[in-house]
Amino acid sequence: MSESFTEALGRRVLLGDGAMGTLARASGGLVEGHGAELCVIAPELVSALHERYLAAGADVLQTHTFAASRPRLERHGLARRVREINLAGARLAADVRDAAGRPAWVAGSVSPATPPGLAVPVEEARAAIAIREQVEALVEGGVDLIVLETFSRAGELLAAIRAVQEVTDLPVVAQATFVDEDGDLLTAAGESPAEVVARLADAGAVAVGTNCTLGPQGLLDVVRRMGPTGGPALSAQPNAGLPHVVADRSVRFAGDAEHFARYVLRYVEAGARLVGGCCGTTPEHTAAAARALTTHDAWSPPTTPRVVPAPRVAPDPEPAPDEEPDEPVTGPGRGAVDRWLRGRPGSRGFLVAAEVAGAGGPEEHLARARRAVSGGASVLWVSRPRARRATTSTTGLAVHLHDRIDVDTALTVTSWQTSLLALQADLLGLHALGVRTLVCETGNPPVHAEQAVGDGVWEVDGLELLRLAADLNRGSDADGVEVGAATAFRLGARVTPGADDLEHEAERAVAKVEAGAEFLVTRPVFELERLRTVLDALGAAGRRVPVLASVGALTGYAQAEHLRHEVPDVVVPDAVVEPMRRAGDGPDAARTGLALAAELVAEAATLVEGVVVRWPGSAVPGLDPTTAVTRLRAAADGADGARVRR
């Protein structure tokens, strides 16, 4: 090859491939041990996957050797095969490169030596030995560069660069992974994108960047906060979107190819020179990105220097309603859920619940809850956030709100992280503490680099959790043994009108009612046709129960785009996206979002029996808890045929 990777990177934008692991699983490449073992037991499959990405337009092929270092392989009994697996993986990709008929480069994929789930990294000297061993085999196999990817600690990434440089002078691409916790983009060690770039600036990598964990939109914020580096090029490889466990416990990633391609262009405009995909991205994503790049003037460097936006700095927040001192609020009293459920169909009051969400401790949540009640909420709703950072437990928060405000508090209980007996103990504890309204669901673990949704305990799902709670209401425990006194939970369950397989979702809704659900709560809805389909199925089965629709005001076009393209099982129609696109992301956008939500609630008032009002936890102009609840409650009350306010 006449042009090196480094020379090509300086001349034009290079497009990487997508997720080899995702594509291998989708193609039937399943192994009981380590995924990289496919390089020796199914080499023809691995070669075919490389060929598909190359045909889609990729310039850079990553070897199928992620996490194929000794500390990672020894957990699968493969420690003695480190050289064999990495040598095979490099040769398979190199053979595809050599037959390409056009310039292409092979990147040897190297992960952190620390296996997932360990709180303390592998000892530095041992990690360096492991990386040198893996890289030596990759170099022998014919790679053109080394890509260090999905590192969650800058120090570990810096040590890995040095270990690579001890055995080869091939170029190195160094990528860290970040999580978004309430707007903060940080590594697992608490480092910002700018801090990571600063630590790696003089390490000798030809490119520094980010990959994995975040979808296209979230990763763009990381790239913007990383650049310009003043030295190494930038790289960006997002996941397709958020992962989601579907009915058969397999993992599905949200995120369509055209949305991915739009963001690839935005990475380039933000200064990235190497772009590609990570978990969930397929040859279709790569092909869409290649089409976008070849029709864009960023495919080759412009003749004038690129102006890269400076890292976004959040302005100092103005005093927000949820940060003001607490004011006494007289709640509507207990029993709203009981009265609502006892009401006769057709005359049942329209229930307005308010979700308590956002950053902060118990007192911040308490202030928001009081303002929601002052706006007209008769139930407070506590649900589990999909976050990795230490935060107040949802159970503790629900009990805190129950004790401090004279109003019903509902709690979402998930089963993914807890065994059956632990769940039973939790339920009995909640009952003793006075929390009586529960919504049972399976839930999803928080997104984690390398293990998007694989770190949960799946002994029971939401349906089994619901049956357990219903048995306790009948006075029996998980083994069918009588308990001292029956519980008195009011039980709900989740329903997902945005599910891909709506027929299956409707069947699950019927099963949940038969298992003991007295009411259903939707995932966020922005249109009602799919919900009508589920309600019709419940009616046809004779299992129609009261339904609460989760409704929230969008705060800007970016949020609408994110929900539409990167979040599974949420349908945001054009009728919502277009007004938000016109509103943009400025201070008035939340008002547009609230107006659209009010229109939806007015329409829903004759279809469902209540709403759960959702709002962003942080302060947004014109969208504090009181404003959101008051506006949406008024929309329901003012609708034709609206139910009597309760």
Query: What is the Cβ-side half-sphere exposure of residue 161, based on CA atoms within 13 angstroms?
Result: 22
In angstroms, what is the C-alpha Rg of the chain?
Answer: 26
Q: What confidence score (pLDDT) does residue 305 get?
A: 33
Quick check: 47 and 38 in contact, CB under 8 A? no
- For the residues 634-641, what does the mean pLDDT come to? 77
Give pLDDT tens digits for 364-390. 889 989 999 999 999 999 986 655 554
pLDDT tens track for 264-282 = 999 999 999 999 999 999 9
Convert 328-342 to b/e letters by CB count within 10 Å (16 or more is b): ebebbeeebbeebbe
Give pLDDT, residue 396. 86
What percentage of residues in the chain have a pLDDT greater than 90?
69
Q: Where residue 307 falls among pLDDT bands split at 50, 70, 90? A: very low
Q: How confident is the model at residue 321 (pLDDT cuts 50, 70, 90)?
A: very low
Residue ranges at the known binding site for Zn(2+): 212, 278-279
The reported pLDDT for the residue numbered 26 is 77
Q: Stretch 578-607: mean pLDDT, rounded? A: 94
Q: How confident is the model at residue 302 (pLDDT cuts 50, 70, 90)?
A: very low
Please tell me the predicted confidence (pLDDT) of residue 458: 59
Please report which residue ranges of 324-380 form alpha helices under DSSP H.
336-342, 362-374
What does the mean pLDDT of the chain come to? 87
Question: Once rounded to an integer, what is the mean pLDDT over residues 194-208?
Answer: 96
Which of the four pLDDT bands, split at 50, 70 and 90, describes residue 397? Answer: confident
Q: Is the dihedral of CA 138, 140, 143, 148 positive or negative?
A: positive
Rounded distance, CA 502 to CA 519, Å? 19
Q: What is the model's pLDDT at position 10?
A: 94
What average pLDDT does range 132-150 have in this prediction? 98
The secondary structure element, H or E, covering residue 222 is: helix 216-226
Q: Which residue, chain included where needed, has tokens 């590609």?
A: 276
What's the CA angle centered on 234, arms 229 and 237, to 5 degrees? 145
How far apart are alpha carbons 593 and 615 in whole angstroms? 11
Task: Tell me what the mean pLDDT of segment 173-195 comes to.
Answer: 91
Q: What is the pLDDT of residue 422?
A: 87
Half-sphere exposure of 242 toward its Cβ, with a 13 Å CA cutoff? 21
The single residue listed with the structure tokens 């696109």 is 581
102-119: pLDDT as tens digits: 999 999 999 999 887 666
Alpha helices in 527-588 (DSSP H): 529-540, 557-566, 574-583
CA-CA-CA-CA torsion sign (390, 461, 214, 63): positive
Q: How confident is the model at residue 645 (pLDDT cuts 50, 70, 90)?
A: very low
Max Cα distance, the chain (Å): 80
Asked if residues 61 and 90 have their Cβ atoms less than 8 Å apart, the reply is: no
Q: What is the pLDDT of residue 333?
A: 83
Which pair of structure tokens corresponds to residue 578?
Answer: 């277009």
**Residue 471: its pLDDT value, please?**
96
Residue 245 has pLDDT above 70, yes or no: no
Rounded-to-10 torsion of CA 368, 373, 377, 379: 80
Looking at the chain, the whole-number percentage of residues with pLDDT higher than 70 is 86
| pLDDT greater than 50 at residue 324 | no
The yes-or-no verdict on residue 599 having pLDDT over 70 is yes
Residues 421-446: what's their mean pLDDT?
89
392: phi then psi, degrees, rounded to nearest 5:
-60, 135
pLDDT higher than 60, residue 328: no
CA 409 to CA 488: how far, in whole Å?
Answer: 14
Cis peptide before 625 (omega within 30 of 0): no
- Of 300-314, 414-428, 583-597, 627-641, which gets the smallest average pLDDT? 300-314
Segment 622-643 mean pLDDT: 79
In the structure encoding, which two tokens stand for residue 116, read together? 């997932």
Q: Is residue 565 within 8 Å of residue 600, measured between CB atoms?
A: no
Mean pLDDT of 343-351: 84
pLDDT computed for residue 117 by the predictor = 67
Q: By mean pLDDT, which of 145-154, 561-570, 623-632 is the weakest? A: 623-632
Distance CA 190, CA 205 (A): 22
Cβ contact 600:528 at 8 Å: yes
Q: What is the pLDDT of residue 532?
A: 97
Q: What is the pLDDT of residue 318?
A: 38
Phi, psi of 467 (to 5 degrees): -65, -40
Write phi, then psi, for 159 (nearest 5 degrees).
-65, -35
41-48: average pLDDT? 96
Q: Is residue 388 classed exposed, middle or buried when 0-12, 13-18 and 19+ CB atoms within 10 A define those classes?
A: middle
The Cα 179–Cα 550 span in angstroms is: 26
Evaluate if pTM is beyond 0.95: no
User: Residues annotated in the binding site, as ranges?
Assistant: 212, 278-279
The yes-or-no verdict on residue 350 having pLDDT over 80 is yes
